[in-house]
Amino acid sequence: MNSVILKTTSKFLFVLMLIFSIWVLIRGHDAPGGGFVAGLITSSAFSLYVIAHGVERLRKVVVLELSALLCTGLICVTVSSITAWLKTLPFLTACWVPLGSFFLGTPLLFDLGIYLVVIGSLLIIVIALEEGGG
């Protein structure tokens, strides 16, 4: 779409939305948010960017291959599920590591995995549509 206003504003909005999505991802543990929502926000950001600037620019911005995003997400999810096996616990048991008063654990990795999968999937769909299939 050849709109100057859209092009300019989308650049700023894009960055803002990405920062926002990461914030939502991290705060999801204790307040409304989480992996799904953050992924959707990122996808909206990318859709806005793609409508304004076109697919080639978007591919340059998203340096990684889309399938790499999808697969990294699935790997995160799988790794977080099977770490329980190291402690001979059943599949998908959550394992926590205390850091002071803060806990790091496999559900966080799981959430990150969800985030990446959602971004990857929606980007694949949007880019396929934008490139004009059929």
- Give the interface segment with another protein, choosing from 3-11, 54-62, 113-121 (CB under 8 A): 113-121
**Long-range own/partner contacts, residues 88-94 (CB < 8 A, 24 or more apart):** none
Q: Which stretch binds another protein (CB under 8 A): 5-13, 53-61, 117-125?
A: 117-125
Are the beta carbons of 49 and 96 closer than 8 angstroms?
Answer: no
DSSP state of 14: H
**Nearest to another protein of 29, 57 (CB atom):** 29
- Could you give the string, one character per residue 25-64, with x where binding to another protein holds by CB under 8 A and - elsewhere? ---xxxxxxxxxx--xx-xx--x---x-------------
Contact 116, 55 (CB under 8 A): no
14/24 Cα distance (integer angstroms): 15
Closest among 54, 45, 53, 51 to 13, alpha carbons compared: 45
Interface residue list for another protein (CB under 8 A): 24, 28-37, 40-41, 43-44, 47, 51, 70, 73-74, 77, 81, 92, 94, 96, 103, 105, 107, 110-111, 113-114, 117-118, 120-122, 124-126, 128-134
